[in-house]
Amino acid sequence: MHLPQNGIINISGRCLKLTKIPFTLGKEIPFTLGKNSVYLNYSTAILLYLSRKYNTPDHWYPSDIQKRARVDEYLSWHHANIRANAPKTMWIKVLIPLFTGQPLPSEKLQEVMEGLSTSLKQFEERFLQDKAFIIGSEISLADLVAIVELMQPVGVGCDIFEDRPRLREWRRRVEDAVGKELFFQAHEMILNIKELSNIQIDPQLKEQLAPVLMKMLK
């Protein structure tokens, strides 16, 4: 299976989950998703696998033990922090109303944004600090994993970069490092996510998924 250049993987099964893996090598990489790969929390594992199999440039996952540890540290922390909140903005503002036909109370979004704010503070203070990228002067998998998650609130109108100049600068550097064109290609769907609100969803599918989606927010 050839992954399209914009690298969006649709996961079938109980949850419709949209995420993406920008392929910064700028070429198509033959890619097989195991038939059991229903959950995209594997994306870290997939990134590591690809970087090893294709011998990508060292800075993505440095061989230097301390630099590598910094990448691992971020990739680990990311799950319970940025990743716990950032995607919810998309669910709350677009996907859940799409499937349930109802908007969600604004307190829900407020709650999520507060959680995200705390994580962003820690991200700036502990992981990014005054460096160009998370591990120092070069981009790594950590920056990639972080940025794609943070683009989700941006896509639904919660511009978390607006009042955060340091993060804004970092984002610009990440975009430059992967290539602006590829970056925007990968984020095309996310940045136009509101268009999803106009699509018709099969009513049976709606019925099936609505309770699952509501549970996700608990």
Q: Which is nearer to another protein, 70 or 93 (CB)?
A: 70
Residue 117 interacts with another protein (CB under 8 A): yes or no: no
Residue 110 interacts with another protein (CB under 8 A): yes or no: no
Residue 31 interacts with another protein (CB under 8 A): yes or no: no
Q: Which is nearer to another protein, 2 or 53 (CB)?
A: 53
Residue 214 interacts with another protein (CB under 8 A): yes or no: no
Residue 1 interacts with another protein (CB under 8 A): yes or no: no
Instruction: State whether the Cα torsion 125-188-210-145 is positive or negative.
Output: negative
Residue 14 interacts with another protein (CB under 8 A): yes or no: no
Q: How far apart are CA 173 and CA 71, in angstroms?
A: 17
- Close Cβ partners of 82 (under 8 Å, ≥ 6 residues apart): 116, 119, 120, 123, 146, 149, 150
- The minimum distance between CB 112 and another protein, in angstroms, equals 13
Beta strands (DSSP E) in 123-203 are none
- Close Cβ partners of 92 (under 8 Å, ≥ 6 residues apart): 104, 108, 109, 112, 217
Q: Which is nearer to another protein, 124 or 138 (CB)?
A: 124
- The minimum distance between CB 48 and another protein, in angstroms, equals 5
Q: Which of 10, 12, 32, 36 is in the footprint of another protein by CB under 8 A?
A: 36
Which neighbouring-strand residues pair with 8? 20
Of 52-91, binders to another protein (CB under 8 A) are 52-53, 65-66, 68-69, 72-73, 75-77, 79-80, 83-84
Q: How many residues does the chain have?
A: 218
What H or E segment, with its residue span, contains residue 18?
strand 17-20
Applying CB under 8 A, the site for another protein has a residue count of 28
Residue 42 interacts with another protein (CB under 8 A): yes or no: yes
